[in-house]
Structure 1
Amino acid sequence: MSADELDAIVVGAGFGGMGAAIQLKRCGYERIAILDREDDLGGTWYVNHYPGLAVDIPSTTYSYWFEPNPTWSRLHAPGAELKTYADRVADKYDLRRLMRFNTTVDGARWDEDAERWRVTLAGGETVSARFLVTATGYLSQPRIPDIDGVSGFAGTMIHTARWNDDYRAQGKRIGIIGTGVTAVQLIPELAAKADELTVYQRTAIWVVPKVDFPIPPVIRRIFARFPAIQGLLRLLTDALAEVGISTAVVNYRWTRPVNSVATWVSKLHLFASVRDKRTRRMLTPEYEFGCKRTTFNNDYYRTFTQPNVRLETEGIDRIEADGIVTTDGRKTPIDTLVLATGFDLWEANFPAIEVVGRDGRNLGKWWRENRFRTYDGVTVPSFPNFLNLASPYAFTGASYFTMMECQMRHMDRLFGELQRRGSATFEVTEDASARHFERMAKRLGNMVYFRGNCAASRSYHFRGDATIVRPSSRGRALRESTNFPLSDYAFR
């Protein structure tokens, strides 16, 4: 197929990109190229494979509604099973033949005369298509901390998003920087093997007990034979996830007592796990529950009672070739440096590539000058035939898959109207985008990020007056993605 015969280019071969491709095929578009910089599909579930990796919400909820997976081994499946699920989805929906791996996209520009997107790849090659979909996810750009000397460390240095499966922690002196969700899963695994583990904590994290259990093979067989039974379990786990995010995050203004109860549960979990008052004080956050991503784990707090584990809350001054020096002048010798420092979301991921639309409008520059905004978490004015999936105000329902299926519904309605009219392009109007943004902005004051005590949280969920979380319920998001006014788009 010629590069100029493509209907659509999808950037990213994770669950977002695959969902977009499935919907495009449902709408009748078959000439699709899915481009990904990695050498296999799966997105974050291919890139991340550190010890202890697991889904942090029930696996039944963390999957496509239209493609249930009856083979989950646990309620919270280990990461490898998500990669297997991604492979199965790609095979079932014949997506593999559309994928082009080891392909880095540098940028994309709208060609007004040809009414096509020109996409530039690393190395200088250019491909084009009628439609462009960026599905790079929220957590795709690993963040290296700006610490003096980090590049000069002479031992083994590993970022959790680039884990070395050949690495062995036995007998090692390990320093790990970061105590976010990834670190909470990884630290107990390292502590069980390392001679010494020093955990450098800048911001403590609320951790609540994790309800997890194996799913017996007989239950899995029942799920496979009677999908409706698994669907009932899905309804339950979806409802619990929705209650959590809608109360603790979205509607905090009216449901603040829920956050107080969750805080009490976390403190009780900490008290039962750690008897030393000083350590408990160090592990207790100074911000409100809900400001950061909720973390479920049964072993994290107990890890800090082990004799080979030390919690360090003094700031890091510099990293030397053989150790870490804190701001009070103490040096801890290490031979392995683990960076659990997360991802650069707001600076490097919005957008993940340079996108230039109509009249030379640069998406990244426009967002930063006009506040982060998207219409229904998908489209932006002056960017015809373009959908940005992992956007500000897009995440809903506590699951990436809920967000994705809202966007698939939006695509179905949008492309259906485009075809009904026989039009070449769609573009959300400036007025519709502004009205949608005003509705979102009015609801922000109800959220924990802007009404609660989140100043010390350093959460990637929000920046300034913008958030990745949609300030509405899951049900409302689904309704709006299915029934948005078609007059909000200009079809040409």
Structure 2
Amino acid sequence: MTSPRILIIGAGFGGLGTAIELLDHGFTDVTILEKAEDLGGVWRDNTYPNAACDVPSSLYSWSFAPKPDWPRRYSGQADILGYIRAVADERGLTERIRTGVEVTAASYDDATATWRVETADGDTYDAEFLVSAVGQLSRPVIPEIPGADSFAGPAFHSAQWDHDVDLRGKRVAVLGTGASAIQFVPGIQPVAGAVTVFQRSAPYVVPKADRAYTRTHQRTFARYPRSQAFGRKLTWVMSEQLNKSLVGTNPMKKVLEAAWKVHLRRQIPDPELRAKLRPDYPIGCKRLLFSNDWYPALAAENVDVVTEHVVEVLPDAVRTADGVVHPCDVIIYGTGFAATEFLAPMKITGSHGADLNEVWAEGARAYLGICLPGFPNFGIVYGPNTNLGGSSIINMMESQSAFIRQLVEVAAATGSVAVREDAASTFDTEVQQRLAASVWGGCSSWYRDEGGRVTTNWPGTVVEYKARTETLDLADFEVAAPA
């Protein structure tokens, strides 16, 4: 196999970055399958008010494609999507993307060392190497609440924002207080008649050091690229300290906790509301959030924070466990994503009929978060245990893309490559032991699956992950020619 056909599922940051890595190293037969009608991943889907990134743009961008004219330090959804489109066009990816193609299944043929991919419209694609880049935050979750179907007004998830719904003067019920809600609630609060925020668990929220870039900033970044690179490096160093604090005793965690306390006290003068907004778990156990307007929005006269559990939806209201009925005209679900259901709902079948659903019955796991024993010529971008509590996930994805490219090189030379069972098991044991000793080991969060296993997060720094993925160790793999 000298010029393998490569299929990539997903046209977000992960899939596009992997395609660029492969093309840059001479692999020209690359096709990207995207179920939506456009590229962009989460930045295509999340169009809610105030949607933005909580990592500075200098770091939340591809290392090989700096953008000197970011409008803000923390850019918004439209600007990030525009950046993705521009890079895809510049690198010739757009013509390689097949939009409107939803992959439903993929199966490996041992005799030919090839993958056959099936789609929702009945088409099939064949390839010598398959990459899944569907991400961890691509499938919105709406909780099953009794009576939800009886609600007479509009109801939608924040990642499926209904822009046809006019919220002016409306009574809006918001379920959830996660990373999306802390952005869109301040966006709708000024126009809504009343907003009731149903909070299951209070988040830690610290100040966001955002600002608009001036033309002087942008000219300087363009003329002197090292100035922007310095900002990227500084942000990365700071974020690595955050990563260390979540898995050890780095003092940055105490600094962040102090910043949260001051932030809360300054912005929430009402002691009763302040008490509602104090988390009951260690900082970092759940995602740390950055916002300058979340607390002021909750303190506004037309906003009420409810901590009682939602038990029922009525045609025109939401009922909580204390029996109180909260009237509303619109329901917005800020209830997150199926982050631990990797690759679902696709059916992936590996060597000798191995069913990935069965392999992952006790929780998703993968060697370096990228590959699995029994699934040759297959790589995952943003797979199990590669998420971060801090820093830019794009750094992790770039390391994964480079590792997958090495896998493709081996497969092209030999026919097939799959990680050894013992290597994968040793890696998984190490990861789970380290996670148990981290801040994520002692509380409930979306980082855990239903069985309590932390399947999303990486228990170390980005620099460690980069070092461990930089060179493929063939001793950890089995290679073979087609049967």
Same fold judged by TM-score > 0.5?
yes
Letter of the 2:368 counterpart: D
Do 1:174 and 1:337's aligned partners in 2 also have CA atoms closer than 8 Å? Answer: yes
Aligned to 1:177: 175
Pick aligned residue for 2:325 from 326, 331, 353? 331
Q: Distance in 2 between matches of 1:480 and 1:351?
A: 27
Q: Deviations over 1:197-230 (max 9, x none)?
A: 1111111111001111111112112212322221
Aligned to 1:129: 127
Aligned to 1:383: 375
Q: Distance in 1 between matches of 2:149 and 2:25?
A: 48
Aligned to 1:395: 387
Q: Distance in 2 between matches of 1:184 and 1:121?
A: 36
Do 1:6 and 1:128's aligned partners in 2 also have CA atoms closer than 8 Å? Answer: no
Cα displacement (A) at 1:47 = 0.5
Q: Distance in 1 between matches of 2:79 and 2:141?
A: 26
2:281 is equivalent to residue 287 of structure 1: yes
Aligned length: 476
Letter of the 1:60 counterpart: S
2:439 is equivalent to residue 440 of structure 1: no
Aligned to 1:468: 456
Aligned to 1:449: 440
Do 1:12 and 1:134's aligned partners in 2 also have CA atoms closer than 8 Å? Answer: yes
Q: Deviations over 1:44-72 (max 9, x none)?
A: 00011100111101111111111111121
Cα displacement (A) at 1:17 = 0.5
Q: Distance in 1 between matches of 2:146 and 2:4?
A: 46
Q: Distance in 2 between matches of 1:198 and 1:324?
A: 10
SS of the residue aligned with 1:415? helix
Do 1:413 and 1:482's aligned partners in 2 also have CA atoms closer than 8 Å? Answer: no
Q: 1:114 to 1:416 in 2, by over 3 A?
A: closer
Q: What is the RMSD of the two structures over their aligned residues, measured on CA atoms?
A: 1.7
SS of the residue aligned with 1:469? coil
Aligned to 1:275: 269
Comparing 336-345 with 159-168, greater Cα deviation is found at 159-168
Pick aligned residue for 1:310 from 296, 299, 304? 304
Q: Distance in 1 between matches of 2:345 and 2:30?
A: 20
Cα displacement (A) at 1:423 = 1.1
Cα displacement (A) at 1:441 = 2.8
Q: 1:226 to 1:417 in 2, by over 3 A?
A: farther
SS of the residue aligned with 1:60? coil
Cα displacement (A) at 1:415 = 3.1
Q: Distance in 1 between matches of 2:212 and 2:39?
A: 27
Do 1:27 and 1:416's aligned partners in 2 also have CA atoms closer than 8 Å? Answer: no
Do 2:7 and 2:131's aligned partners in 1 also have CA atoms closer than 8 Å? Answer: yes
SS of the residue aligned with 1:221? helix
4+ long deviations beyond 4 Å: none
Do 2:340 and 2:448's aligned partners in 1 also have CA atoms closer than 8 Å? Answer: no
Aligned to 1:344: 338
Cα displacement (A) at 1:173 = 0.9
Aligned to 1:486: 474
Q: Distance in 2 between matches of 1:319 and 1:442?
A: 41
Letter of the 2:466 counterpart: L
Cα displacement (A) at 1:372 = 2.9
Cα displacement (A) at 1:382 = 0.4
Q: Distance in 2 between matches of 1:381 and 1:323?
A: 50
Identity of aligned residues (%): 35
Cα displacement (A) at 1:126 = 1.6
Q: Deviations over 1:129-159 (max 9, x none)?
A: 1111000011011001110111221111121
Do 1:10 and 1:35's aligned partners in 2 also have CA atoms closer than 8 Å? Answer: yes
Pick aligned residue for 1:367 from 360, 366, 386? 360
Aligned 1:99-110 pairs, distance under 5 A? 99-110=97-108
Comparing 6-15 with 206-215, greater Cα deviation is found at 6-15
2:351 is equivalent to residue 358 of structure 1: yes
SS of the residue aligned with 2:107? strand
Q: Distance in 1 between matches of 2:205 and 2:266?
A: 12
Q: Distance in 1 between matches of 2:317 and 2:344?
A: 36
Aligned to 1:427: 418
Letter of the 1:81 counterpart: D
Cα displacement (A) at 1:322 = 1.1
SS of the residue aligned with 1:272? helix
Give the TM-score normalised by the residue count of structure 2: 0.95
Letter of the 2:422 counterpart: D
Cα displacement (A) at 1:289 = 0.5
Aligned to 1:20: 18
SS of the residue aligned with 1:133? strand
Letter of the 1:132 counterpart: L
Aligned to 2:404: 411
Q: Distance in 1 between matches of 2:411 and 2:338?
A: 35
Q: Distance in 1 between matches of 2:333 and 2:469?
A: 38
SS of the residue aligned with 1:118? strand
Do 2:22 and 2:28's aligned partners in 1 also have CA atoms closer than 8 Å? Answer: yes
Do 1:292 and 1:461's aligned partners in 2 also have CA atoms closer than 8 Å? Answer: no
Q: Which runs of 5+ in 1 are unaligned?
A: none
Do 1:392 and 1:466's aligned partners in 2 also have CA atoms closer than 8 Å? Answer: no
Q: Distance in 2 between matches of 1:6 and 1:95?
A: 18
Letter of the 1:372 counterpart: A
Do 1:34 and 1:99's aligned partners in 2 also have CA atoms closer than 8 Å? Answer: yes
Do 2:377 and 2:408's aligned partners in 1 also have CA atoms closer than 8 Å? Answer: no
Do 1:179 and 1:203's aligned partners in 2 also have CA atoms closer than 8 Å? Answer: yes
Pick aligned residue for 1:188 from 186, 193, 200? 186
Q: Distance in 1 between matches of 2:65 and 2:9?
A: 22
Q: Distance in 1 between matches of 2:25 and 2:416?
A: 15
Comparing 302-311 with 78-87, greater Cα deviation is found at 302-311
Cα displacement (A) at 1:167 = 2.9
Do 1:374 and 1:391's aligned partners in 2 also have CA atoms closer than 8 Å? Answer: yes
SS of the residue aligned with 1:408? helix
Q: 1:460 to 1:440 in 2, by over 3 A?
A: closer
Q: Deviations over 1:443-488 (max 9, x none)?
A: 22331111xx524xx3336662323221122211111111342221
